[in-house]
Amino acid sequence: MHAGYLCCTSLEFGPTGIVLQGPASRTTAPDAELFAIRLGIAKATSMAIECIILITDSLGSARQAVDPSVHPGQAHSLAVYSALRLFFSQGHSYRIDFWNCPSKAEWSLHQLVHNNVTNARVSAGPHPATSINFLHSKSVISCLDTWRTLFNCPTVQG
* For residue 75, pLDDT beyond 60: yes
pLDDT band at 141 (very low <50, low <70, confident <90, very high): confident
* For residue 145, pLDDT beyond 60: yes
The dihedral through the CA atoms of 76, 78, 83, 85 has a sign that is positive
pLDDT band at 29 (very low <50, low <70, confident <90, very high): confident
85-102, pLDDT tens digit by residue?
999 999 999 999 998 888
- DSSP letter, residue 130: B
Residue 114, CA atoms < 13 Å, CB-side half-sphere? 15
DSSP H stretches of helix in 46-131: 59-65, 74-88, 108-119
Q: What fold is seen in the domain 3-127?
A: Nucleotidyltransferase; domain 5 (3.30.420)
pLDDT band at 13 (very low <50, low <70, confident <90, very high): very low
Q: For the chain, give every domain's residue range.
A: 3-127
Which residues are CB-contacts of 49 (< 8 A; sequence separation ≥ 6)? 10
Nearest to 2 by CA among 109, 99, 129: 129
CA–CA separation, 62 vs 76, rounded Å?
A: 11
CA–CA separation, 57 vs 61, rounded Å?
A: 9
Percent of the chain with pLDDT over 70: 66
